[in-house]
């Protein structure tokens, strides 16, 4: 696997907008952004409505994912290119989710919606939704080698790499959510003991594109993350840590990396688990 297999430039996307085997998919934190405008021929996946079970806290099951992709007109052999706002947070989350269910060829648009907009590239009106014929998509069972659960995190304290990718203020306990969201939350502030705080933003340039492989490797080495050990990344709900998972697993080729999607909203609500306050 190499960077070009999983990450494409805005120029590449521009050149493939009419390729029937390339499906561009917008996954945005603000699920209404697509309604305002989007990249021509892009379809939308709503990370809340489409990817979460409507009742309990978990993902849609294998059959649900098959039904979703079939309805969106995505086939097993299509190249899926994901993009979104907020530096691809939820596009990265969807990338990890597509891999969880075993999609073969999935890629991220480097820089996402922001880079596309800062380049002043064309967007079409929100009402311009492409027609794609339904498919019979077949998903695989979840690949839990890339998904961590709460017991994995508790067992990893002091034993494996825990990478907390939230901002320093969330890590230390000053904030409970990213600062574009209200701060009133039920869980306790802080972080998992022994976690290193390496904010997701250190992986990216201001325009949302990823830093070079060399810069990324140096970042984790300087932060004393021993990549020969198993690693679990987490944030607040698992979307920013999906971006760090993408960097470690897909760009740097570390196969022993999991994303903990329960993240701080689960861990910070557990009774009796240890919590640490303060910065690294």
Partner 1 sequence: MCGAKAGGPDLAGVDVASETIIQGSVTRDGEPVNGYVRLLDEGGEFTAEVPTSATGQFRFFAAPGTWTLRALVPGATVDRVVAAQQGAVAEVAIAV
Q: Which residues are catalytic?
A: 235
Please pick, from the candidates 1, 128, 181, 218, the single residue that binds partner 1 as defined by CB under 8 A: 181
CB atoms near residue 176 (< 10 Å) = 22
Q: Cα(29)–Cα(237) distance, rounded to whole angstroms? A: 12
Please pick, from the candidates 54, 158, 182, 272, the single residue that binds partner 1 as defined by CB under 8 A: 182
For partner 1, the closer of residues 89 and 98 by Cβ is: 89
Site for partner 1 in 129-168 (CB under 8 A): 167-168
Q: Cα(222)–Cα(236) distance, rounded to whole angstroms? A: 24
Q: The tokens of 7 are what? A: 């990450």
Under the binding rule (CB under 8 A), the answer on residue 262 touching partner 1 is no
Under the binding rule (CB under 8 A), the answer on residue 119 touching partner 1 is yes
Size of the site for partner 1 (CB under 8 A): 27
Under the binding rule (CB under 8 A), the answer on residue 277 touching partner 1 is no
Q: Look at residue 198 and give its three-state secondary structure.
A: coil
Residue 116 beta carbon to partner 1: minimum distance, rounded to whole angstroms: 11
DSSP letters of 9-67? -HHHHHHTTT-TTEEEEE--SSTTHHHHEESTT-EE--TTTTTB-SSSSSB--HHHHHH
Q: How far is CA 126 from the centre of its chain?
A: 24
Residue 55 beta carbon to partner 1: minimum distance, rounded to whole angstroms: 27
Q: Cα(195)–Cα(172) distance, rounded to whole angstroms? A: 11
x/- mask, partner 1, residues 196-235, rule CB under 8 A, reads ---x-x----xx----------------------------
Residues of the shown chain interacting with partner 1 in the complex, contacts defined by CB under 8 A: 30, 33, 85-87, 114, 117-120, 167-169, 174-175, 177-184, 199, 201, 206-207
């Amino acid at each position: 696997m190499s960077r070009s297999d999983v990450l494409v430039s805005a120029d590449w996307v521009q050149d493939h907008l009419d390729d029937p085997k390339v499906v561009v998919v917008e996954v945005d934190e603000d699920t209404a952004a697509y309604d305002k405008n989007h990249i021509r021929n892009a379809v939308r996946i709503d990370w809340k409505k489409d990817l979460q079970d409507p009742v309990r806290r978990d993902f849609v099951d294998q059959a649900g994912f098959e039904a979703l992709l079939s309805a969106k007109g995505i086939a097993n052999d299509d190249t899926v290119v994901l993009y979104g706002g907020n530096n691809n947070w939820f596009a990265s989350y969807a990338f990890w989710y597509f891999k969880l269910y075993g999609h073969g060829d999935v890629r991220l648009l480097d820089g996402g919606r922001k880079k596309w907009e800062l380049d002043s590239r064309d967007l079409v009106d929100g009402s311009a939704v492409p027609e794609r014929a339904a498919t019979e998509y077949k998903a695989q069972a979840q690949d839990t080698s890339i998904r961590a659960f709460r017991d994995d995190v508790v067992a990893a304290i002091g034993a494996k790499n825990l990478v907390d990718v939230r901002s320093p203020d969330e890590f230390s306990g000053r904030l409970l959510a990213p600062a574009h969201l209200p701060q009133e939350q039920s869980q306790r502030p802080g972080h998992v003991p022994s976690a290193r705080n390496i904010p997701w933003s250190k992986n990216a340039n201001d325009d949302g594109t990823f830093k070079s492989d060399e810069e990324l490797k140096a970042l984790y080495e300087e932060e004393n993350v021993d990549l020969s050990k198993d690693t679990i990344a987490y944030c607040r709900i698992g979307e920013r840590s999906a971006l760090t998972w993408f960097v470690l697993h897909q760009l740097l080729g570390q196969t022993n990396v999991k994303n903990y999607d329960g993240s701080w909203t689960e861990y910070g609500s557990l009774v009796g688990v240890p919590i640490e306050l303060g910065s690294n």
